[in-house]
Amino acid sequence: MQYDDEDLEEQLTDGSKHDNDWQLDVTLRPSSFDDFVGQERVVKNLKIAIEAAKKRNEAVDHILLSGPPGLGKTTLANLISREMGVDFKDTQAPALEKQGDIVGLLTNLTEKAVFFLDEIHGLRRGVDEYLYSAIEDCKIDIILDTGPSARSITLPLKPFTLVGATTREGLLKAPFRARFIVRERLDYYEPEDLARIISRSAGILDIDVDPAATDVLSHSSRGTPRVANRLLRLARSLAIATGKKSITKEVAEETLVNHRIDKWGLEEMDRMILKVLVDNAPAPVGLKTLSEIVEEEPATIESHYEPYLLKLGMILKTSRGRKALPKAAEALGVTLGEKTMFDR
Ligand SMILES: Nc1ncnc2c1ncn2[C@@H]1O[C@H](COP(=O)(O)OP(=O)(O)O)[C@@H](O)[C@H]1O
Ligand SMILES: [Mg+2]
């Protein structure tokens, strides 16, 4: 992905991935389940699947991980392969354009490998058919030649584990979704979990963070570990640049101000969305209209911005569109009209 500094600034609190995050993600990525903070239920279910696979000497059951960007889907897929001691193959589903692409990947998988398909809702038609038979029967049929000499050959595959990740589970067709034995949805992290992640990352990045600063940063991280790590790094830069030995509360607060992040972790785009809804209250606003006004893709609004605003209780999704709740007005420093309060 290409971006310039302005994009980076704009998308600062965006949990989705940028190229220069890659290094940070890898450095700070937990290398064992012990380092993976929170999501206890998900981790427990994954450990059971892994344990069972080890005992039967089989590949782990196919797994679907869903949830907003930056919550740990790729990390968990990685941990599964590490725990199993098998290869890890990481692929973006939308990048598989031809059937040959997926055939090549599947036939090259090693015994019990974890085949990680990110953004699996973006799998192209035709490509998905191959995946179906691969996960169903551990084989694929390919057609050689065309016309009268056409014949199909069956390629057996080594047992493998498909780990699909999606930020938009609703777009997966039910029969496809049903093929995953384990299905887990990752939820936003509580500030206490984010505080633990920040402390761990600070240790790796070799910077001291005052508890009060950890508190400020963890509350402004949109419930998202990737955002927490990015804010930590920005605060660290500010501390270093201004000759401080540690990240103090003041440094943390200044970091947020410098990057226009409020105490809820909201950024410019969140505030634009809220403003449209607050201005229209009590009337709901449709996704398409909203998207046109704030100039952001409907899919991005739905998968990235809305889930967090819903979680904060700032907006409501109704069949007629999105509505602002009083907390949205509070975040913008205004009050919703009386009518709106009753109209809920
Ligand atoms: N539970 C967690 N504990 C500690 N760090 C985490 C956790 N989840 C995510 N992270 C950090 O956030 C980064 C982004 O996570 P990632 O797995 O890439 O998210 P996703 O694939 O869901 O977008 C990781 O590199 C890691 O540093
Ligand atoms: Mg990922």
Structure tokens at 82: 């590490």
User: Tens digit of pLDDT for each residue in 16-27?
Assistant: 555 555 666 678
To test the pocket of ligand 1, the residue of 63, 75, 119, 227 to mutate (highest count of ligand atoms within 8 Å of its CB) is: 75
CATH 1.10.10.10 domain residues, the chain? 268-343
Give the pLDDT score at 16. Answer: 56
* Sequence-separated (6 or more) residues with CB below 8 Å from residue 166: 64, 65, 66, 119, 120, 121, 172
Catalytic site includes residue 288: no
**If we measure between CA atoms, which residue out of 81, 162, 167, 83 comes closest to residue 122?**
167
Cα distances from 326 to residues 43, 219, 270, 275, 337, in angstroms, run: 35, 20, 15, 12, 9
Q: Which ligand is nearest to the CA of 66?
A: 1
226 catalytic per annotation: yes
**What pLDDT, on a 0 to 100 scale, did the predictor assign at position 91?**
93
- Specify the domain boundaries for CATH 3.40.50.300 within the chain: 39-185
Instruction: State in Å: Cα 71 to ligand 1 middle.
Output: 5
CATH number of 39-185: 3.40.50.300
The pLDDT of residue 26 is 73
Outline which parts of the chain fall under CATH 1.10.8.60. 191-258
The top-level CATH class assigned to 268-343 is mainly alpha
> How high is the pLDDT of residue 328?
93
Question: Is residue 179 annotated as a catalytic residue, yes or no?
Answer: no
Residue of minimum CA distance from atom 16 in ligand 1:
72
pLDDT at 202: 95
Query: What is the 311 CA–ligand 1 centroid distance (Å)?
Result: 19
Fold (topology level) of 191-258: Helicase, Ruva Protein; domain 3 (1.10.8)
pTM, to two decimals: 0.86
Length of the chain: 344
In the chain (344 residues long), the average pLDDT of successive 10-residue segments reads 37 51 74 94 97 95 95 96 95 88 90 95 86 86 79 88 93 87 95 96 94 96 95 95 94 95 92 94 91 92 92 91 92 70 44
